């Protein structure tokens, strides 16, 4: 896509599809998102652990929800975003889209892992077991393996172009599992409790709890963006190492 | 040659190749039987227990045997260069892939489906359960071949491709396994199992629609 040069450059979003244009923009955005992430995290933890009341049935143990729910949401959402960038890559042939997908995958895997870990820590006192073969838990584990498969595939192919496209195909195939995970609680009546927030019924929680959870979700969101952007910058440097602008940047000692 | 003829020619060619190496086909079936025989050895020969785990064990064994046969889908054609020749024909690559999927299903899915009831009898399954086992396998194994073709195409010529193939494909097989063994377990428990069967059919339709197209992208990548 050839960027047009009429009007101010920031109006033309497509010009940022070029790694050269995107690299400095990402560099400027990372501290912004990282600070917001820390800010939201501090506020969310304070609200969740100090202000929110104890829960009627589960006492204080429920508070891990402030980590568990945001990480679970992010784990599912990041895969959808990955699939979105993969479709963009296959449809528009933009290299940056594939790099975005690959930069998102480790964060997605981390979120899925944290979701499983916090779930296990929560399950032990509440259900009396670390793990059950419940639909939701198992499908989250499968999502974790989908991330690992994506990472393994893209890392084991040496030619960047093939790695990008192969990863895109895989991400698109895998995305059909995400709705299964999301609706598993509804479809199978199992041990895992139903969603605490739903579109039809609104929230079933006290408002401080809800706000704390949403703030923590925003924190997870901001962190994921910052982590992804910084990984994309590394990928750009690796891929574009032969180009003049990268060499100039390195020569200038600029980060 | 139009796409229809090309499609049939690919199926014929792959079936012929498979027949010339029928030892390979036997390996999959023997593997299936062996896996199914190991479970009673490991868990114990109590008939009630075997009838309960039978549907799940047989389904898992079918999936593993299918996984074992997947690399064959493209690897040998890729090694001797005929895959490249097949891509040079005027017909769309997805037609070629679809033909290969059908041939793969005929040479692995069908034998496994036919042999499964024999093992089912050994696990003490009732006759209506056996019938459902065959029906679910008949609907499930083409999905396995179609989904597997994407994984097989993605890992053509990749380092440790066969290990990677398992990691990529087994999570995607999970829904088929859940509904396939679920249908059999439902019949064994006195329910109809038709709901699971319909879901299997729906998954099959979706996969047959998308898989040849996605696998074709992956095949072209590997050869370019």
ipTM of predicted complex? 0.84
Phi (first) and psi of residue B173, to 5 degrees: -75, -15
Phi (first) and psi of residue A242, to 5 degrees: -85, -15
Confidence of residue A242 (pLDDT cuts 50, 70, 90): confident
The widest CA-to-CA distance across chain A, in whole angstroms, is: 64
Mean pLDDT of A69-86: 92
Mean pLDDT of A190-195: 59
In 3D, which of A238, A2, A234, A231 has the Cα closest to residue A101? Answer: A231
Q: How confident is the model at residue B87, as a pLDDT?
A: 85
Q: Provide the shortest C-alpha distance from residue B20 to chain A (in Å).
A: 32
The structure's pTM equals 0.85
**CB neighbour list of residue A193: distance below 8 Å, 6 or more residues apart:** A185
DSSP A50: I
Q: Where are the beta strands (DSSP E) in chain A?
A: 197-198, 202-203
pLDDT-above-90 percentage for chain A = 32
Contacts of A165 in chain B (CB under 8 A): 217-218, 221
Contacts of A105 in chain B (CB under 8 A): none
A166 and B170 in contact by Cβ < 8 A? no
Tell me how far apart the alpha carbons of residues B66 and B73 are, in angstroms, rounded to a whole number: 11
Tell me how far apart the alpha carbons of residues A86 and A229 are, in angstroms, rounded to a whole number: 16
Tell me how far apart the alpha carbons of residues A101 and A253 are, in angstroms, rounded to a whole number: 28
Please say whether the beta carbons of B26 and B114 come within 8 A: no
Contacts of A169 in chain B (CB under 8 A): 150, 154, 214, 217-218
Give one DSSP letter per residue of B125-136, joined into a string.
--HHHHHHHHHH
- Would you say residue A2 has pLDDT above 70? no
A156 and B221 in contact by Cβ < 8 A? no
Contacts of A176 in chain B (CB under 8 A): 206
Give pLDDT tens digits for A34-67.
Answer: 999 999 989 988 888 887 777 666 777 778 888 8
- The token duo for B117 is 């009831």
A177 and B174 in contact by Cβ < 8 A? yes
3-class state of residue A207 by DSSP: helix
Q: Which residue has the higher pLDDT, B2 or A187?
A: B2
CA A202 to chain centre: 24
Which residue of B78, B165, B171 is the best one to mutate when testing the A interface, meaning the one whose CB has the most A CBs within 10 A?
Answer: B171
**CB neighbour list of residue B15: distance below 8 Å, 6 or more residues apart:** B103, B106, B107
Mean pLDDT of A166-182: 85
Task: Name the stretches of chain B with pLDDT < 50.
Answer: none
CA B91 to chain centre: 25
Confidence of residue A1 (pLDDT cuts 50, 70, 90): very low
């Amino acid at each position: 896509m050839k960027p047009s040069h009429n009007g101010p450059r920031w109006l033309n979003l497509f010009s940022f599809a070029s790694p050269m244009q995107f690299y400095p923009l990402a560099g400027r955005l990372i501290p912004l998102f990282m600070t917001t992430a820390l800010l939201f995290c501090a506020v969310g933890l304070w609200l969740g652990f100090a202000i929110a009341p104890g829960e009627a049935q589960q006492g204080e143990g429920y508070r891990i929800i402030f980590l568990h729910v945001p990480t679970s949401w992010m784990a599912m959402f990041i895969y959808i975003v990955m699939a979105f960038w993969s479709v963009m890559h296959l449809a528009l042939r933009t290299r940056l889209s594939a790099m975005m997908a690959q930069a998102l995958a480790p964060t997605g895997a981390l979120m899925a892992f944290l979701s499983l870990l916090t779930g296990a820590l929560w399950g032990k006192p509440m259900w009396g077991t670390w793990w059950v073969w419940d639909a939701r838990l198992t499908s989250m584990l499968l999502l974790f393996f989908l991330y690992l498969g994506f990472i393994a595939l893209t890392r084991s192919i040496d030619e960047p172009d093939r790695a990008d496209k192969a990863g895109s195909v895989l991400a698109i195939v895998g995305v059909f599992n995400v709705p299964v995970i999301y609706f598993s609680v509804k479809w199978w009546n199992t041990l895992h409790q139903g969603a605490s927030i739903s579109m039809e019924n609104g929230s079933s929680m006290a408002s401080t709890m809800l706000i704390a959870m949403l703030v923590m979700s925003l924190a997870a969101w901001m962190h994921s963006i910052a982590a992804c952007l910084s990984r994309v910058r590394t990928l750009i440097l690796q891929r574009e190492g032969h180009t003049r602008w990268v060499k100039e940047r390195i020569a200038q000692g600029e980060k | 040659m139009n796409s229809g003829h090309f499609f049939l020619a690919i199926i014929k060619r792959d079936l012929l190749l498979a027949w010339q190496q029928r030892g390979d086909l036997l390996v999959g079936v023997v593997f299936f039987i062996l896996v199914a025989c190991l479970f009673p050895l490991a868990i114990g020969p109590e008939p009630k227990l075997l009838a309960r785990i039978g549907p799940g064990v047989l389904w898992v064994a079918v999936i593993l045997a299918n996984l074992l046969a997947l690399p064959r889908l493209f690897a040998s054609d890729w090694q001797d260069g005929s895959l490249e020749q097949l891509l040079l024909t005027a017909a769309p690559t997805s037609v070629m892939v679809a033909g290969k999927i059908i041939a793969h299903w005929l040479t692995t899915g069908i034998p496994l489906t036919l042999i499964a009831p024999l093992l089912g009898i050994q696990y003490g399954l009732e006759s209506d359960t056996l019938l459902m086992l065959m029906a679910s396998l008949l609907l499930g194994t083409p999905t396995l071949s179609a989904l597997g073709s994407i994984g097989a195409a993605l890992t053509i010529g990749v380092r440790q491709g066969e290990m990677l193939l398992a990691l990529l494909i087994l999570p995607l097989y999970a829904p088929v396994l859940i509904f396939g063994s679920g249908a059999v377990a439902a019949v064994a428990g006195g329910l109809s199992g038709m709901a699971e069967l319909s879901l299997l059919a729906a998954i099959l339709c979706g996969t047959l629609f998308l898989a040849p197209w996605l696998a074709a992208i992956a095949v072209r990548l590997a050869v370019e």
